[in-house]
Amino acid sequence: QLSKSGKTVFAYMRRSTTKKEQASSLPQQEEGIEYLAKALGVDIGEIRAYTESRSGYENRKRPEWNKMIWEIDKLKEPCIILCRDTSRLSRNPTDNLAIANRIFGDNGQKKVIQSIYYLGTAMKIEEWNDKTNKKHIVDTLHQNYTDSMENKEKCIAGVLLKLEQGEFPYCPPHGLKR
């Protein structure tokens, strides 16, 4: 029962784009956070939630992420983070290192993240903490980052392919066809 632990609980949700294929991303993540909260005994009203939209790819600014990290760094006790899956946390190597440093207290960083809970396969609740293999955490975050970069390249290639075929790959202005 995390509610009785007195730990501050954060939730982070991120939608990569505002495109239609990502329309259900935030609601799915919210459902995942609610599932985690219920299973872990956390009052949903006590969770400090941060939500980002259009933060895909590595160089997009993440103001909500930065606010959350700032809040976490101010805490006197290590906190808990809930996320639907770890790919929502990963966006670039700098942020990946920030997560690992705050879990393990590395590189002059205070240990301010006690645990990160997320949904693994078959809705199994997974936890990362300072007892988790550091290589596993760092490798997973890095894989999330490289997957994002590959997805970006595929999106660019898809746009170029449509242009090559004479099709406008974006929603056309009202009254025009693709």
Residues of the chain with pLDDT > 70, as a percent, come to 74
Residue 127 burial (C-beta neighbours within 10 Å; 0-12, 13-18, 19+): middle
pTM for the whole structure: 0.78
Cβ-proximal residues to 22 (8 Å cutoff; 6+ apart), any chain:
15, 16
DSSP 171: P
pLDDT tens sequence across 58-83:
456 788 989 999 999 999 999 999 99
What pLDDT, on a 0 to 100 scale, did the predictor assign at position 128?
97
Average pLDDT (103-116) is 95
- The pair of three-digit structure tokens given for residue 146, joined into one six-digit string: 């490289």
pLDDT tens sequence across 113-160:
999 999 988 889 999 999 999 999 999 999 887 877 776 666 665 655
Phi, psi of 11 (to 5 degrees): -130, 140
Are the CB atoms for 81 and 69 separated by under 8 Å? Answer: no
For the chain, helix, strand, coil in percent to 5 are 50, 15, 35
